[in-house]
Chain A
Amino acid sequence: DVKVTQSSRYLVKRTGEKVFLECVQDMDHENMFWYRQDPGLGLRLIYFSYDVKMKEKGDIPEGYSVSREKKERFSLILESASTNQTSMYLCASSSPGSYDRAYEQYFGPGTRLTVT
């Protein structure tokens, strides 16, 4: 069974803290993604990675960085957490199809981060 797991379901951090969100997939997928989801704004792509050590900015990368040292693991880092980064964070993975690179993404359950 396909599995994407995220390190925490709920997380509370203080302003200015460095925050690590971890995502692991067990499907040997090449692509991994980090999104955030906010009411009224839908899901927005923060970063994605199409291979180990490779990364590309999504639509809202400011204030975030990522790390992918192993194929199965993709980390999202908030260098100095701020209250406007309070959100639901969702990780996803996929293996690109022959012609469709956005082919079938599998999502984790999400991490609800609160920054106080």
Chain B
Amino acid sequence: DAKTTQPNSMESNEEEPVHLPCNHSTISGTDYIHWYRQLPSQGPEYVIHGLTSNVNNRMASLAIAEDRKSSTLILHRATLRDAAVYYCILSASNDYKLSFGAGTTVTVRA
């Protein structure tokens, strides 16, 4: 399975953007990039996913490097509710499974 590497933790100030990096240098051509987050005492929730092009939704933006070896999740204006563990996950197009790593713990300061 292709692996991802994320920083253990990041801090941000409220209402500032947060850029969460993810390295996936062994990604294959058909692997999708998924981002999930897990708020305290809750199950993970889907944030965004993409294949080659940058993606935007109401929660975040996903910027994918041209060579696809890295990606960045962008939270445009962090709120206290965005404090969570963020997981970057790869999945093959024909695979149902997601493999969660340790993720990045994001702390948001008021």
Contacts and interface: CB of A to CB of B under 8 A. Distances in A.
Interface residues of B, number: 24
Contacts of B91: 100-102
A4 B42 CA distance: 12
B93 A107 contact: no
A113 interface: no
Interface in A19-52: 31, 33, 35, 40, 42-45, 48, 50
A110 B100 contact: no
A48 B97 contact: yes
Interface residues of A, number: 30
Contacts, number: 66
Contacts of B46: 104-106
A43 B94 CA distance: 21
Contact of A102 (B45, B97, B102): B97
Contacts of A42: 87, 100-103
Contacts of A31: 96
B98 A102 contact: yes
Given A50-B96, A101-B95, A102-B98, A90 B49 contact: no
Interface of A: 4, 31, 33, 35, 40, 42-45, 48, 50, 56, 58-59, 90, 92, 94, 96, 99-110
